[in-house]
Structure 1
Amino acid sequence: MRIGLIGAGRIGAMHARLLDAQPDVAEVVVADVDPARAVVVAETLTRGVAAGIETAMDGVDAVAIASSTDTHVEYLIAAAKAGLPTFCEKPIALDLENTRRAIDAIDDAGVSVLMGFQRRYDPAIRAIRDRVVASGSRVPYLVRSQTHDPEPPPIDYVKVSGGIFRDCLIHDIDAVRYVTGQEVVSVRAIGAATGFPEIAAAGDVDSAAALLEMSGGTLAQLSGIRHDPVGYDVRLEVFTPDAAMSAGWGDAAAIVSLEPGAVAPADPFTNFWDRFDAAYKAEIAAFVAMVGGKATPAATHHDAYADLQVAAACDLSLSEGRTVYMSEVS
């Protein structure tokens, strides 16, 4: 199969390599707003070719969208009209209205879309999900999910990111929905900008937390910080009547135990590439399988909308200092 890839930046280049490694992919057609960058990425592949943005969807069997967020909606609509199965990095858009516009086009066309919430393909997180599903009616008591970045993103990015909930903690929102199989009923969010005044000046926070009430009765806690001095610390913990489970704990976990005799991590995770290497590989393999009619997406465009709704509710809760119910956000 021939796969069109739109976006040859940092994440696009990674997806290009992963697509190139798939046995069922005969050619990766790389396109970018910067044609020279598309050429550079294509030349690193064994089966890559560069193309212009305007022809990226011509003669391909599917398309992967890894361009800037502000282009996702139009590319998704174009892919839907062309009848192409699509992979799209999160988010579809930073607002619900434009996200809905893309979703309507996708649904009208009836094409399959896999959204880039790669944590659904993380082996440990999938194992937790399987254990929860296997337990049947035994609802989890509590879920804790966190994303602690080693360094804040560039301030120019912060200004257009949509804020910590829509940009960062939306992954945790999606992971909680995924492992519990429940939807969010209400949120209470708080945040602070104590370490980076430039983030506060940009209208965002550098530390955030939220309590989610889930539809099945489970409680969920989210936390996010833009600066973790040890490294990149993403963990998920689930407590059920049968088990206490975690994903992200291990020798590379970016946290130091002060228990007597404990050993500090020698090589903690410092970026999302390393932490989710297996997940990214499994995600692209699942996309190729979806194109071939052998798999269904773990995260769809409707999941992207539900996650964004929760992030928007968290923003509203943060700004107004109160519990927000999902019925208030549409």
Structure 2
Amino acid sequence: MTDLHLGLAGVGRIGAMHARTLVTTPGVGRVTVADVDATRAREVATEVGADAAADVEALLAAGIDGLVVATGTAQHPDLIRAGVEAGVPVLCEKPVAPDVALSLPVLEFVARHDGVVRIAHQRRYDPGYREARRAYAAGELGWLHAIRATTCDVAPPPVSFLATSGGLFRDCSVHDFDVIRWITGREVVEVYARGSNNGDPAIGEVGDVDSALAVCTLDDGTLAVVTASRYNGAGHDVRLELQGSKGSLVVGLDDRSALRSAEPGVVFPAGPPFTTFAERFAEAYRAEVAAFAGLVRGEADELCRPEDAVAASKVADAAQESLLSGVPVRVGVWPRPPRGGHSFRPRNTCSEGGKGVFRPTG
């Protein structure tokens, strides 16, 4: 199979990016896209040189060899099932489902039907993260005494998106949780999280925070600190720092890093910072889609398996629970019973009205 026909469900922000990548992927001869907004699907198809299907049902009936899912999170479970039932490999944007409890039936369905499903965690294909994994596995860093990971956007997405995103840990930090597991081969066993809302009050009103920190304990005792923010005016900042007994290594430290030195005479970094995740990880996205095309052709792959994606989501769920409860949370057996009764609003803990630490109430 050399000339693949790949389908794409969802052509929003990240879906449109995938459409542009798919049509330029070696070995892909035809791309068909579909979206709940049929007009949007036709516009993107015309822009990138793809075909447009009237809906997902028509897309699956179009004879595609593989399916890429880039819709909203709530639609992921049904589309994964649909792709498996159609007998085609599926690459779905993270996460599998809005939370772990909703993900488990999807995993069971995929296993029962011998489905071929992978979850898009593109950092696994970023050259820096891959080098960090190689260096650690080769013993060049020794044992790790500290891990620091950060994911910071320049500005928040629309509040309408945040209202259904599952929260900052599930939306952004889940990438950090995934690469920490992937690079170290260890499991996160406990999380203690805090968050704040000093930006748009509407973010707190929909139950989210705009900045957060999680202290993670790995199963060998290693500590990892994961930070995230929606407001990083310096640029899109994604970094990973591994400090070991023999050496230290940083991912994302280059001439486009979104930071500057306070030391006199230091001009590094010299280049303009990245402004979006698509720009920062353009190479990784291309490599990930190419790997999926290889998977469709029957080649070996290193793509993220759904079980690993759910393991990262398990940590994100625990971080969210810790954020709400204010206490450390063990990452244990799931699903857990839902925690009800919380309402969310930022409480004023300083002189500036409407700003302060975000805490659950009720």
Please state which band the TM-score falls in when normalised by the shorter chain.
over 0.9
In structure 2, C-alpha distance between the alignment counterparts of 1:235 and 1:25, rounded to whole Å: 32
User: Following the alignment from structure 1 to structure 2, what is the Cα–Cα distance between the partners of residues 221 and 329?
Assistant: 23
The alignment covers a number of residue pairs equal to: 329
1:256/1:265 contact within 8 Å kept:
no
Within 5 Å, which residues of 2 pair with 1:100-249? 100-135=104-139, 138-249=142-253
Q: What amino acid does structure 2 have at the position aligned with 1:18? A: T
| 2: CA distance, partners of 1:274 / 1:95 | 28
Which aligned pairs between 1:219-298 and structure 2 lie closer than 5 A?
219-263=223-267, 265-298=270-303
TM-score scaled by structure 1?
Answer: 0.95
Q: Deviations over 1:261-305 (max 9, x none)?
A: 122644111111111111111111111111111122431111121
Structure 2 counterpart of 1:7, which letter?
Answer: G
More helix by share: 1
The one-letter amino acid paired with 1:17 is R
Distance of 2:220 and 2:301 partners within structure 1: 25
1:329 Cα deviation after fit = 4.3
Computed over aligned residues only, the root mean square deviation of the Cα atoms, in angstroms, reads 1.6
SS of residue in 1 equivalent to 2:319: helix
CA displacement at 1:328 relative to structure 2? 5.5
Asked if 1:29 corresponds to 2:32, the answer is yes
Unaligned runs of 5+ in 1: none
Q: Structure 1 residue 316 and structure 2 residue 321: aligned?
A: yes
Q: Tell me, what secondary structure is at the counterpart of 2:28?
A: coil
Which residue type is aligned with residue 51 of structure 2?
Answer: V
What amino acid does structure 1 have at the position aligned with 2:285? Y
Q: Contact 1:192/1:207 (CA < 8 Å) preserved in 2? A: yes
- Identify the residue that residue 302 of structure 1 maps to in structure 2: 307
Aligned residue in 1 for 2:356 = none
Deviation at 1:138, TM superposition (A): 4.3
Q: Distance between the aligned counterparts of 1:70 and 1:294, measured in 2? A: 30
2-structure distance, mates of 1:312, 1:271: 25
Task: State the identity as a percent.
Answer: 40
Question: Amino acid of the residue matched to residue 106 of structure 1?
Answer: V
User: Matches of residues 42-53 of structure 1 in structure 2 within 5 Å?
Assistant: 42-46=45-49, 48-53=50-55
Please report how far the alpha carbon of residue 111 of structure 1 lies from its aligned counterpart in structure 2 after TM superposition: 2.4
Give the CA deviation at 1:136: 9.1
* One-letter amino acid of the structure 1 residue matched with residue 321 of structure 2: L
Aligned to 1:66: 70
Q: For 1:60-114, what per-residue CA distance to the aligned partner results, in whole angstroms no more than 9, with x for missing partners?
A: 1110001111111100011111221111011121122221121111111222222
Question: How many angstroms does 1:166 deviate by?
Answer: 0.8
> Structure 1, residues 10-29: CA drift from partner, whole Å, max 9, x if none?
21111112111122111101
Does the 8 Å contact 1:113/1:297 carry over to 2? no
Q: Structure 2: any 5+ residue segments left out of the alignment?
A: 336-362
Shift of 1:137: 11
- TM-score when scaled to structure 2? 0.87
